[in-house]
Structure formats: structure tokens, C-alpha cells
Structure 1
Amino acid sequence: MELEVRHLRALCAIADTGSLHRAARQLGVAQPSLSTQLRRIEQALGGELFTRTQAGCRPTPLGRLVLSRARPLVTEMRSLVTEARAAAADAPQLRIGSTASRALSGWLRRLRQRQQEPTLRMDVSANALLRMVADGRLDVAFVHEVEGCPLRIPDGLRLRVLVDREPQFVSLPADHPATAKPVVHLSELAGDRWMVDETVDGEFDAVLRMLHTAGLSPRVLHGDYHTAASLVATGEVVTVCQATCLPRPEMAVRRLHGDPLGVRLLLAARTETELDAAHPALAEAYEEVARQAPAYREWLEQGDVNTPVPALPH
């Protein structure tokens, strides 16, 4: 059996949903068919990729290895299909750059519904994306500016603030003692290892500053946030995460007491016309994912934030 993109997409869906049933529903296939497909994939790779329990499916060490290679391939294939369809239809393209965000999927979908065919360039560096907009290689960029670490805004760029301050939360193992409460004090994480992605502009300095201000000097591991999520799930580390991050069966998301770390969400372009073309769809997509994230939804309902996201229903 040769692995195909659809097989990799199925593995990602199982990992993301934590359940064969939910993954099958997301993929639009029957659960028995997905279970059979998973067994064939595991036979082809020579080992189990997920541990099945009553609580759901958790990646095994082999599964985490495969997923770390599968996710970029699935993302690249989606981008390839999008760009190929746009070229075939000779549709006007909106060249988008973005740092990581759960709002991306809804943003792209809404742009297509508005007869705009987007292409996507992902980068962990907001400064790199801003430079690409200034150089004309991208039309717009959606970026995160870490609090206390201002971005380098090239001359001539126009900015529109999506959210003036989004708090950063913490993701930690589901069985961590601190998950007993909805709000975690940093002191409760004093004995944990932290993982930080130092390639994200300003992130490493901001997290260390937050920890040192709280009087903590924990062990810090360096790695990307896909790896961090895998290590959180196995109890190895805790890490900061975006407020829109969704919990999983093996990973909890909690607010940090006092909201010690935040980011500003910005949309950048060379002209107001380009901002007008991209901003409404992005604002709608962000509102959608904000409503879906339990911890962020609760935080927003308290009215503690000055943000364009409208009041959420009780």
C-alpha cells in the first residue's frame, strides 16, 4: 500500500478531533471505513499510530513522528490545489501571508465566497511577512505582534488592528493538577518544563519576561508549537497558546491569572483598498473561532477586553 494525501489527511483529522467518530464526520466518510483505512495505514507503516481508549484516540510516538511530517504535506497540497484552481479559472488572486491562526480556514473560505481567490504563504516570522508585503510579494499579511516586542513596520505599509490585545493562554496536560480550576496561576506551573518557539518574533523574550516577573526560572525547551502540542499531550511540557486554541482529550487550555501576556493582531497592506478587500472576511472568521474556544469565550463574556469581536450570547 502506498500512502496518498487522503491517507495523511485522515491521520491529521483523527489527531485533531481525538476521535474516529468525529474524524469520520469531518471527512464525510463512514466510521467503519475510516477504521479500516487506519488499520491499512498502520500495517503499511509497521506499527500503531494511535492508542484507542474510551476517552478517544491519542497518537503513539510513531504516530507523532508521522503527523509531524504529514501536516506540512497536507497544508502544501491544499495550497497547491487552491493555486492550481485559481490559475485554471484565471481568477484574480489575493496573495495572503499569515502567522499561525485558527481563523485562517474561515478567512480563506469567506474570501472565496466573495469571489476572491486567495493564495497563502505561512511564516512564523511576522517581520518577514511584513517585508514581503512591502516588497510587493504579498498583498496583505495577518500577523501577531507580541506584547513588549514591537514589530518592524516597513515604510509605506498601512495597518488595521483586528484585536488590540488578545490574551495568551496556557496549554497543559489534561491530567495536570492546575486544570482543576479555570484560571491558572503561574506559580502552579513552577515545576514544569516550558517549550517556546524562539523563531516566532518576540515570543521567547516575552515568555521569559513573563516567567521571570512571576519569580520563576523553569527549564525551557526550544521547539515549534506543533511539537509542543505533542509534548503537552504526553505530559512533557506546558506552553503558551493562542486564546482561540481548542482543548483536546489529552490537552487542556486554561487562562493565566492576570493575563500577563498578550498579542496585538494586525492586518497589513500597501493600500487601504487591499485592507478593505481582506478585513471583513478576516473579522468574521476570527469571531467564529473565538466563539468556538471555551476558555476564550468565557473570557470575552466577562467583558475584559477591548476588541472588535461583538458581545457573545449567554
Structure 2
Amino acid sequence: MEFFMSMELRHLRYFVAVAETGNLSRAAEKLFIAQPPLSVQIRQLEEEMGTALFVRHPKGVRLTAAGESLLPEARYLLDRAARMKESVTGSASGGHLALGFVPSASSTVLPKLVRHLKKEHPALHIELREMISSEQAEAVAAGHLDAGIARSKPHHPRLTVAAQMPDPFCLALTPQQARRAGNPVELRSFAEHDFVAFTRHRGPAYFDQSIYLCAKAGFSPRIRYEASTVHGVLDLVGAGLGVALVPSSCALLGAAGVSFCRLRAPAASEVLVLLRRKTDSNPLLPALADAVRASFADLQQRMAEKLGC
């Protein structure tokens, strides 16, 4: 407790500046202070930590192992302090929401959702961050986000689902292929076709689910092309380079030259959800959950009208 009372945010701010510049003189210029007081502040922080954070050398300084460990924590605490100020300021002026979203939701969920929230709360400050589902869960649990629109239910004990809708995978293919396939489509009948897939490191949930569905149908997909976004995958399908397994909500993206067919045996676990912490005092979260539920209901109705062959 004594450590936290004696250490101030300026110590961390000075430490980060020195670490990023690698030089006390340049850090002092960046901070608009003289070098001697900066050196004193760094020594005070090292004394509080009980270890050296920098190694001095003729051209400047470099981080010790302890300094390397402290740097991400210091950045996190400074970011949290800044967000705390934004939150207080936002609460006084109309509120603040930090919302994560999967890439496909930027076209299907966010436009109507943001318009609704801004209409109901004109002074609301909305911070939007595009992230894959696993990153969102970590960010919401850690307090970096207030909520997230993700494609998997959370396993973290601090998180809960505030809204959800089924979004089963379907098959994206050309209109000519769709006319021959029937509706719903038997995925096994496409075992000899080329597939377009999501790049695994950018969309692991999409990639893994596609592999799972094909394996369930009795074959391993022949993946010839990959793309890192939903729009990129659909562009390759529209060019006739292969078929792809994508969430049904993608049928609402208006991709040129692409049709969508339901699968005969979709997986029941494929959902779009709103994640939030189980205990959170942000007064805007109930309104967000209501708006997302309304958006999900609208999406489901539009998907039912659009999806088919």
C-alpha cells in the first residue's frame, strides 16, 4: 500500500517517455522538463521498485529485464487513467461507451445501432474498436471495453451474454452454382470444389468453423484462396475462384456476383452475441443491450428474406 501511495502517475509517464526515446535528454525535451529533475524521478521510481529499470550506456539508456516487464504495465495504467478521466467527463456530458465488434458487424449491425444510440443519447461518446472475438472477451474482462459484439459465447467467469441471435454458416457461391445446388444445400456435394477461406490468424473462429463443418460433412476442404476479411472472401467467391462458408448475416452485405444457400445441417452453436461484464455500473449498458436486441431482431428478419437460392 505504501508503494502505491508514494508512486504517482508522473513517475510512470516519465518512465515510459525514457523507455520509448532511449535517451534522458530526448525524453526531457518531449516532456518539457529539464533533464536533472527527470533523472531524479526515474531514480525515485527505481528505489520504489527496488531494482534498476535502465542500464546506462554512452549513447543513452536501455531497459533492464525488470524495465521490460514494467513497460506494458505502465502503459496500461496510464491508459486506464486517461480512460477514467474520459469516462467522468463523458458521464457529465452524455456518457461514454467503448464497444468492440467483429469485422462483419461493421456493415450489418453497427450502422443502425450507432444511429439509434446517437439519436437517443445525442451527447454520447462512442469508442469503436474492431477486434476478433477472443480479443474482445479479454478486453471486456480487463475493463478495456464496456461491451463487444462477438461470434462466440464467453468462457470467462466475469462475462455474460446480454443479447444474442443465431447466425449459422451458409454457403457463398456464384448465382450459376446456386441455381444447380438447391436450397438448402448438401455441403458434401461440394467436396470436389475449390474453397475460399478466412486467413486463420485474422479470423480463427471463421476458419476453424469452416473446417469443422466440412469434416462433419465427411471431407477436408480444398482451400485454394484465403482473405483476411468477409468482404475479401466474398469478392473472391464473386470472381468465381471458389465457394466459401460464411455467417448467414453476410447475405446482407450486397456482394456482387454472390448468392447464399442455407446448409442442410448447420451447427447450432453459431451465434452473434453482445458481451459485457456481469457487474458493471455503466448506466448506458441496459440501453445498449436493448438497442442490440432490436438490431438483432431486424437482422434475423432481413436474413430470412434474403437467404436462399
Q: What TM-score bracket applies, with the shorter chain setting the length?
A: 0.5 to 0.7
CA distance in 1, matches of 2:281, 2:245: 35
Cα drift, residue 195 of structure 1: 2.1
Cα drift, residue 292 of structure 1: 2.2
Give aligned-pair identity as a percent: 21
Decide which of 107, 113, 117 is 1:111's aligned counterpart: 117
Q: Which residue of 2 aligns with 1:203?
A: 206
Residue 127 (structure 1) aligned with residue 134 (structure 2): yes
Q: Which residue of 1 aligns with 2:290?
A: 280
CA distance in 2, matches of 1:248, 1:157: 34
Q: What number of residue pairs does the alignment pair up? A: 206
The residue identity in structure 1 corresponding to 2:297 is E
Cα drift, residue 272 of structure 1: 5.5
CA distance in 1, matches of 2:286, 2:307: 27
Residues 209-220 of structure 1 aligned to structure 2 (within 5 Å): 209-220=212-223
Cα drift, residue 117 of structure 1: 3.5
**Residues 158 and 294 (structure 1 numbering): CA distance in 2 closer, same or farther, change over 3 Å?**
closer
SS state at 2:220 partner: coil
**Residues 250 and 261 (structure 1 numbering): CA distance in 2 closer, same or farther, change over 3 Å?**
farther
Structure 2 unaligned spans of 5+: 1-85
Normalised by the size of structure 2, how large is the TM-score? 0.59
The residue identity in structure 2 corresponding to 1:229 is L
CA distance in 2, matches of 1:215, 1:295: 30
CA distance in 2, matches of 1:280, 1:129: 20
Q: Which residue of 1 aligns with 2:231?
A: 226
**Residues 232 and 261 (structure 1 numbering): CA distance in 2 closer, same or farther, change over 3 Å?**
farther
CA distance in 1, matches of 2:209, 2:178: 25
Q: Could you say what the CA RMSD is over the residues aligned between the two structures, in angstroms?
A: 2.8
Note if contact 2:262-2:307 (Cα within 8 Å) is conserved in structure 1: no
Residues 265-276 of structure 1 aligned to structure 2 (within 5 Å): 265-270=272-277, 271=279, 274=282, 275-276=285-286
**Residues 93 and 258 (structure 1 numbering): CA distance in 2 closer, same or farther, change over 3 Å?**
same
Decide which of 247, 252, 258 is 1:251's aligned counterpart: 258
Cα drift, residue 106 of structure 1: 1.2
**Residues 236 and 243 (structure 1 numbering): CA distance in 2 closer, same or farther, change over 3 Å?**
same
The residue identity in structure 2 corresponding to 1:250 is G
SS state at 2:115 partner: helix
Deviation string, structure 1 residues 178-225 (Cα, Å, up to 9, x no partner): 555231111232222222222324332222121122122231133222
Note if contact 1:134-1:157 (Cα within 8 Å) is conserved in structure 2: yes
Normalised by the size of structure 1, how large is the TM-score? 0.58
**Residues 112 and 177 (structure 1 numbering): CA distance in 2 closer, same or farther, change over 3 Å?**
closer
Note if contact 1:169-1:243 (Cα within 8 Å) is conserved in structure 2: yes
Note if contact 1:291-1:297 (Cα within 8 Å) is conserved in structure 2: no
The residue identity in structure 2 corresponding to 1:191 is E
More helix as a share of residues: 2
Note if contact 1:290-1:297 (Cα within 8 Å) is conserved in structure 2: no
Structure (1 or 2) with the larger CA radius of gyration: 2
CA distance in 2, matches of 1:177, 1:243: 15
